[in-house]
């Protein structure tokens, strides 16, 4: 199965609290009116320029094993080594906000209003991260069929948790996301920049559980896996 989901940008504008959180503030803080105004302007700009789209394609465990192997640069032991064998279904995904929003951020930062450019960048980053969860929800509801409530789906991406960023090459070789106009640069960055990619893992909640005691976890500042795992309990 391969499908593209397109989203109306106006329905996908990050809320003010999310943007504030990413800027290290919260509603309880005395947020200056100028910041509130910048957030509102960035939201309008986002609604005008973003073109959110999600591509996903199912694949077998063996097919994913070849993608995951990539250039052979992954950590010797990583969460996906444990999670994938327990999974029921897998899909690769790429999702993007399109190129116009990135160009607008660049122009505002370079020659326009840098403060607006910064807030627009934060707004777009928040939306791009959420696209991975849109892909996960889409996969859960479409692929798992009637029993979808039993399945929990989480996205996992190259560049995180032992999956080396060079894994993007094998992922893009396999997925070839031409329908949504995302390409990979020689340094494994996606173009447009406000894009996300990875594998969607569908399985019982227990399939996603692991201890964050891999050698590379010592250097992890966020331990974001704990919050992610909590969402599928």
Residues that bind ligand SF4 (CB under 6 A): 79, 161, 212, 214, 216-217, 220, 223-225
CB of 65 to ligand SF4, least distance (A): 20
Please report how the helices 99-111 and 33-49 are oriented relative to each other, as an axis angle in degrees rounded to 10: 140
**Residue among 144 and 153 whose Cβ is closer to ligand SF4:** 153
The half-sphere exposure of 213 on its side-chain side, counting CA atoms within 13 A, is 3
CB of 229 to ligand SF4, least distance (A): 9
Cα dihedral: 125, 128, 130, 132 (round 10)? -140
Q: Find, among 195, 198, 200, 94, the residue nearest to 143 by Cα.
A: 200
Q: How far is the CB of 46 from ligand SF4 (least distance, A)?
A: 27
The CB density around residue 208, as the number of other CB atoms within 10 Å, is: 24
User: Nearer Cβ to ligand SF4, position 31 or 165?
Assistant: 165
| Structure token digits, residue 72 | 């052979």
Between 43 and 225, name the residue whose CB sits nearer to ligand SF4: 225
- Closer residue to ligand SF4 in complex, CB, 46/156: 156
Q: How far is the CB of 159 from ligand SF4 (least distance, A)?
A: 11
């Amino acid at each position: 199965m391969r499908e593209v989901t397109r989203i109306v940008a106006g329905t996908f504008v990050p809320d003010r609290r999310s943007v504030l959180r990413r800027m290290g503030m919260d509603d309880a803080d005395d947020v200056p009116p100028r910041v509130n105004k910048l957030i509102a302007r960035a939201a309008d700009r986002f609604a005008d320029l973003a073109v959110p789209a999600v591509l996903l394609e199912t694949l077998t465990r063996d097919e994913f094993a070849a993608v995951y192997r990539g250039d052979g640069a992954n950590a010797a032991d990583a969460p996906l080594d444990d999670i994938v064998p327990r999974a029921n279904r897998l899909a690769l995904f790429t999702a993007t906000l399109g190129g116009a929003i990135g160009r607008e951020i660049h122009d505002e930062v370079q020659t326009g209003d840098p403060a607006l450019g910064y807030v627009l960048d934060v707004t777009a980053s928040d939306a791009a991260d959420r696209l991975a969860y849109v892909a996960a929800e889409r996969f859960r509801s479409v692929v798992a069929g009637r029993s979808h409530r039993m399945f929990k789906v989480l996205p996992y991406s190259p560049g995180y948790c032992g999956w080396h960023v060079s894994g993007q090459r094998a992922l893009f070789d396999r997925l070839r996301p031409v329908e949504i106009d995302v390409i990979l640069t020689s340094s494994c960055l996606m173009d447009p920049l406000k894009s996300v990619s990875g594998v969607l893992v569908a399985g019982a909640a227990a399939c996603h559980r692991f201890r964050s005691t891999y050698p590379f976890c010592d250097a992890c500042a966020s331990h974001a896996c704990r919050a992610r795992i909590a969402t599928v309990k």
